[in-house]
């Protein structure tokens, strides 16, 4: 027999061209009537986060799509119709920055990158329904992004206001809170972010805080991702309490989570951004100092200001407010530890029971009045944050627990009209406007007479104009395209100007999964019946880095669009899987470190099947994995051994026969191998459901090892079954090699075959190795029958030679029998 060589470069393109020419992975939307009358096969929507096309795909992409493709294939073979589409998140800063540097239009460089992604996805053999492909920068897509924007605008969910916003001086654009990292740096370019007052567009995501929080309970997401979202939303229960400044006759409500400590409030603090600060200070001796303080604070970066280690600063305003519970006049301060964006921008300060207020009081020599004492009567060290009983408060409340007092005080405030129970969220409205070119234009016209006027639906899309200069100059580069900017008001036909800001790219990616369901619809963003068929996404796959931003925004879009009557569901992604990062030598791959492994070079060296299997085999896919070229070689050897043994066995058992089955009367090595094959089916099936692809692949390796060991002693038929099964089980990970092997054996296409089922009878054994322990230590092992009674098992154990050596001459205290496992004798 001639030596056969495993040649992925021959095998892979051959199968890829079958899938391309037959459009194997395309699925149609069933007409609705059919879905109702015919028993429609169950469907599944398997989706990986769409890539941002910049340069070439990297290893992280390979991992995401290897995971997603395995899931998609598994669902198909379980008999489901699977929607598994692909698209590109093709608006964004990197292409624009590239354009600034090289003059190449972002559309051109993006198109090149997309072509590269397409080529590589095909070369990886990912089972994509290419008929639904989309790019968010394509007018046929962003037309509908604009339509959604206008729907939100008309509903009051998109609005414009002046705001202190995060401004990146390098990228010359506003950033969302979420795009500023922990050090106060721009997520993209790393420059220190500044604060500016600008008119900006926002989405009213805060209206949805409660629902975004509560509905987390209805979806099957990793707990840590839910936790991150919960923290981000940051719900706090408490009360809003009104403090009145008598001199100016102004009420200042504050939010507090601790109304039980109201009697301990000894001063009052406002954020530097608070619009009343200068008015309050005006005419007092502190006017000048307050003004200077506000100015310095506003210039300070968030990084400097947010540092909790920093000692407290502030300036007295020379005014007082009245504490509503006891009528005390307490002094007002302005201090930068109070944030304008949270609560009301003003706080009551209780130095005895709040660390920050305590620091401030110590620095400024303000009174500290303890109003809660530990319930056990011990002396509390201040600030005391814990629970206890009220003291120094009011005879109605002193002595009762602070939890009770909290409720009692809130209802008292409510009755007196001085406050009420309240809930606050950390979540802020989503700033969506960007002063950049390469993004979706905001379809609004500014008319001097009519104000903000939406571009009529039938005039969408508002297409991006051609410009020569992408360089941002503090305003959108679009402002330079005067022919485009100057237009007529759709309302009054008077002269008007187009909005020159573009949308944050997260807007584009907040609804793309809807568009896939009806990607070629030219008269609507989607037809409701198309969504009914596929949505919500059954399994979403992507990196944890999107745990907050993208996943929160997409959820918000669904809820808002559902409220507007466009969707019949409120959660886009029923289940989520987040895969870990791929590192090299323990650190993140990056060009500057020079440790980038390109998927293309791996595929060229060992083929896509090896690359895909390796990345799933190296460890649990939800964890980070370190790339090792030696490990890749190991997987390559495995696929090669499997393919060669299969090819050799197929030659021996030719011609191919469609059915693949074991011998019912198998015995000896045939039975051993048959059992192993069924064990592997059972193991892989379970592992697929748990995303345990690493152990699934190792189970197939075990099956191959046994097949190889028994290649001479087992029958050709059993060997054929074992190896055909191995190919069938490996198909979701190594589709080309598996399809090739399966076809050799059966002449059939493995992707058209149902997922194999394990024969229960072959999973069970009639004899097993009984573990014989003495005092919990294994002393011997004997063959036992599954049928044996506990009494018989005890006897077997007592009879074992090495057990006797440890038991003889000792007192038997206890006997523990675990049928099917072990017997443990306790002796003294």
Partner RNA sequence: GCCCGGGUGGCGGAAAUGGUGAUACGCAGUCGACUUAAAAUCGACGGCCCGCAAGGGCAUGUGGGUUCGAAUCCCACCCCGGGCACCA
Residue among 299, 264, 265, 293 nearest 281 (CA): 293
130 is a contact residue toward RNA (CB under 7 A): no
Closest to RNA by CB, 194 or 702: 702
Q: Which of 31, 802, 810, 812 binds RNA (CB under 7 A)?
A: 802
Contact positions with RNA (CB under 7 A) in 620-639 = 620, 623-626, 628, 630-631, 633-635, 637-638
Residue among 721, 628, 638 nearest 674 (CA): 721
To RNA, the closest distance from the beta carbon of 313 in angstroms equals 7
Binding segment for RNA (CB under 7 A), chosen from 50-58, 522-530, 665-673, 691-699, is 691-699
What CA–CA distance (Å, rounded) separates 372 from 352?
A: 9
Q: Which of 380, 400, 452, 548 binds RNA (CB under 7 A)?
A: 548
Q: Which of 474, 495, 776, 790 binds RNA (CB under 7 A)?
A: 776
366 is a contact residue toward RNA (CB under 7 A): no
Residues 6+ apart with CB under 8 A from 817: 790, 793, 794, 823
Dmax (CA) of the chain: 109
Contact positions with RNA (CB under 7 A) in 528-547 = 544
To RNA, the closest distance from the beta carbon of 757 in angstroms equals 17
9 is a contact residue toward RNA (CB under 7 A): no
Residue among 185, 59, 175, 203 nearest 124 (CA): 59
371 is a contact residue toward RNA (CB under 7 A): no
Residue among 102, 103, 92 nearest 54 (CA): 92
What CA–CA distance (Å, rounded) separates 48 from 85?
A: 9
Closest to RNA by CB, 180 or 530: 180
Rounded-to-10 torsion of CA 619, 625, 631, 633: 110
760 is a contact residue toward RNA (CB under 7 A): no
Closest to RNA by CB, 497 or 641: 641
Contact positions with RNA (CB under 7 A) in 704-733 = 705, 708-709
DSSP string, 233-280: H-EEEEEEEEEEETTTTEEEEEEES-GGGGGG--EEEE-TT-TTHHHH
What CA–CA distance (Å, rounded) separates 491 from 598?
A: 53
The torsion region of residue 738 among left (phi > 0), alpha (psi -120 to 50) and beta comes to alpha
User: Could you give the string, one character per residue 214-233, with x where binding to RNA holds by CB under 7 A and - elsewhere?
Assistant: ---------xx--xx--xx-
Q: Which of 312, 369, 436, 736 binds RNA (CB under 7 A)?
A: 312
Is-contact 495 194, C-beta < 8 A? no
Closest to RNA by CB, 13 or 634: 634
354 is a contact residue toward RNA (CB under 7 A): yes
To RNA, the closest distance from the beta carbon of 814 in angstroms equals 5
Residues 6+ apart with CB under 8 A from 504: 176, 430, 431, 432, 433, 434, 439
Closest to RNA by CB, 183 or 416: 183
What tokens does 202 get? 């926002």
494 is a contact residue toward RNA (CB under 7 A): no
What tokens does 123 get? 């070369």
To RNA, the closest distance from the beta carbon of 588 in angstroms equals 8
Binding segment for RNA (CB under 7 A), chosen from 208-216, 402-410, 663-671, 768-776, is 768-776
Closest to RNA by CB, 204 or 426: 426
Binding segment for RNA (CB under 7 A), chosen from 32-40, 341-349, 460-468, 550-558, is 341-349
Please give the size of the binding site for RNA, defined by CB under 7 A.
86
Q: Which of 122, 188, 196, 356 binds RNA (CB under 7 A)?
A: 356
To RNA, the closest distance from the beta carbon of 342 in angstroms equals 4
User: Could you give the string, one character per residue 435-474, with x where binding to RNA holds by CB under 7 A and - elsewhere?
Assistant: ----------------------------------------
Which residue is listed with tokens 């922990």? 182
811 is a contact residue toward RNA (CB under 7 A): no
242 is a contact residue toward RNA (CB under 7 A): no
Q: Which of 234, 367, 474, 494 binds RNA (CB under 7 A)?
A: 234
Is-contact 517 536, C-beta < 8 A? no
What CA–CA distance (Å, rounded) separates 758 from 500?
A: 62
To RNA, the closest distance from the beta carbon of 634 in angstroms equals 3
Task: Count CB-CB contacts under 10 A for residue 586.
Answer: 8
């Amino acid at each position: 027999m001639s030596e056969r060589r495993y040649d992925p470069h021959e095998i892979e393109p051959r199968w890829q061209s079958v899938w391309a020419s037959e459009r194997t992975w395309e699925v149609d939307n069933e007409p609705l009537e059919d879905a109702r009358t015919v028993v429609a096969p169950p469907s599944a929507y398997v989706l990986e986060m769409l890539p941002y096309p910049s340069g070439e795909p990297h290893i992280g992409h390979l991992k995401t799509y290897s995971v997603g493709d395995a899931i998609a294939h598994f669902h198909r073979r379980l008999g489901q119709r699977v929607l598994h589409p692909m698209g590109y998140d093709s608006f964004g800063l990197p292409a624009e920055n590239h354009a600034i540097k090289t003059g190449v239009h972002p559309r051109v460089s993006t198109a090149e990158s997309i072509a590269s992604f397409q080529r590589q996805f095909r070369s990886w053999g990912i089972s994509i329904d290419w008929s639904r492909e989309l790019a968010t920068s394509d007018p046929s897509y962003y037309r509908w992004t604009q339509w959604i924007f206008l729907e939100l605008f008309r509903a009051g969910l998109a609005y414009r206001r002046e705001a202190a916003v995060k401004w990146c001086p390098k990228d010359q654009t506003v950033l969302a809170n979420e795009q500023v990292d922990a050090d106060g740096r721009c997520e993209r370019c790393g420059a220190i972010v500044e604060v500016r007052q600008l008119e900006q567009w926002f989405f009213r995501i805060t209206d949805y805080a409660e629902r975004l929080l509560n509905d987390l309970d209805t979806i099957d997401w990793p707990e840590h991702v839910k936790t991150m979202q919960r923290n981000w939303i940051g719900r706090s229960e408490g009360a809003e309490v009104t403090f009145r400044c008598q001199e100016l006759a102004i009420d200042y409500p504050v939010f507090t989570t601790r109304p039980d400590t109201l009697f301990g409030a000894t001063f009052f603090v406002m954020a530097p951004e608070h619009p009343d600060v200068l008015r309050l200070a005006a005419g007092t001796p502190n006017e000048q100092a307050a003004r200077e303080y506000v100015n310095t604070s506003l210039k300070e970066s968030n990084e400097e200001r947010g540092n909790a280690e920093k000692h407290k600063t502030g300036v007295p305003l020379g005014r007082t407010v009245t504490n509503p519970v006891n009528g005390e006049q307490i002094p007002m301060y302005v201090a930068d530890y109070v944030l304008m964006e949270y609560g009301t921008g003003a706080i009551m300060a209780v130095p005895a029971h709040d660390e920050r207020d305590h620091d401030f009081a110590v620095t400024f020599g303000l009174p500290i009045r303890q109003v809660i004492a530990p319930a056990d009567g011990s002396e509390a060290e201040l600030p005391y944050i814990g629970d206890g009983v009220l003291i120094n408060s009011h005879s109605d409340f002193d002595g009762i627990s602070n939890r009770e007092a909290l409720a009692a005080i809130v209802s008292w405030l409510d009755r007196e009209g001085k406050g009420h129970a309240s809930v606050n969220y950390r979540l802020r409205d989503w700033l969506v406007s960007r002063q950049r070119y390469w993004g979706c234009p905001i379809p609004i016209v500014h008319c001097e007479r009519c104000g903000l006027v939406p571009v009529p639906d039938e005039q969408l899309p508002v297409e991006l104009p051609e410009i020569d200069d992408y360089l941002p100059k503090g305003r959108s580069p679009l402002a330079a395209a005067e022919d485009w900017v100057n237009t007529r008001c759709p309302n009054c036909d008077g002269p008007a100007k187009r909005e020159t800001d573009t949308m944050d790219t997260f807007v584009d990616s907040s609804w793309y999964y809807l568009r896939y369901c009806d990607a070629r619809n030219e008269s609507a963003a989607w037809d409701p019946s198309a969504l009914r068929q596929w949505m919500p996404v059954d399994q979403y796959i992507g990196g944890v880095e999107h745990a907050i931003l993208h996943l929160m925004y997409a959820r918000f879009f669904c809820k808002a669009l559902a409220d507007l009557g466009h969707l019949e569901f409120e959660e886009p992604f029923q289940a989520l899987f987040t895969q870990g990062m791929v590192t090299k030598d323990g650190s993140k791959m990056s060009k500057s470190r020079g440790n980038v492994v390109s998927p293309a070079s791996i595929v060229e060296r060992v083929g896509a099947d090896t690359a895909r299997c390796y990345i799933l085999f190296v460890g649990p896919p939800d964890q980070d994995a370190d790339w090792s070229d030696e490990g890749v070689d190991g997987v390559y050897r495995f696929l090669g051994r499997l393919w060669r043994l299969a090819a050799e066995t197929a030659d021996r058992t030719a011609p191919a026969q469609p059915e693949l089955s074991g011998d019912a009367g198998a015995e000896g090595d045939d039975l051993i191998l048959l059992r192993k094959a069924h064990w592997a089916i059972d193991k892989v099936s379970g592992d697929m459901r748990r995303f345990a692809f690493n152990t699934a692949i190792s189970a197939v390796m075990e099956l191959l090892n046994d097949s190889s060991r028994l290649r001479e002693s087992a029958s050709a038929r059993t060997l054929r079954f074992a190896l055909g099964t191995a190919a069938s089980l490996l198909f979701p990970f190594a589709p080309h090699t598996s399809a090739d092997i399966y076809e050799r054996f059966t002449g059939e296409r493995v992707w058209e075959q149902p997922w194999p089922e394990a024969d229960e009878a072959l999973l069970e054994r009639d004899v097993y190795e009984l573990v014989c322990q003495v005092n919990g230590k294994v002393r011997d092992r004997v063959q036992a029958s599954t049928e044996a009674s506990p009494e018989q098992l005890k006897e077997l154990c007592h009879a074992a030679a090495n057990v006797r050596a440890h038991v003889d001459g000792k007192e038997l205290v206890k006997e523990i029998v675990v049928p099917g496992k072990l017997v443990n004798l306790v002796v003294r």
